[in-house]
Amino acid sequence: MALDNLSAALKDNGHEVSMQVFVADTGRRAGHFMVSLGSPDRTVVGAAMDDRTKPWFTQVLSDLEGEREYVHGFAMRCDTYYNAAQ
């Protein structure tokens, strides 16, 4: 529910990004969530990342239950070679 709210809040605040959520099954990060933002335009992702410190963003994240600790952050550039129609 909180991640759905985050996705809606991103769009409400002008960020047309997709959001992918993963849970690590194995390794040292097993059980940890990873949230990835995506867009064909890197400036759109950058603007969304810049807003992580805005009150609306932190309010939505405060709805996540339990303790939240930022464990690892990184940026990737990916190329899509095929995208099936949905």
CATH number of the domain residue 52 falls in: 3.30.70
pLDDT over 70 at 73, yes or no: no
Query: What average pLDDT score do residues 4-23 get?
Result: 91
pTM, entire model: 0.68
80: left (phi over 0), alpha (psi -120 to 50) or beta: beta
Contact 3, 18 (CB under 8 A): no
Residue 19 in contact with residue 2, Cβ under 8 Å? no
Which residue segment(s) compose the domain that 56 sits in?
A: 1-86
- Predicted pLDDT at 21: 84
Helices and strands per DSSP (H, E), number in the chain: 3, 2
What is the number of domains present in the chain?
1
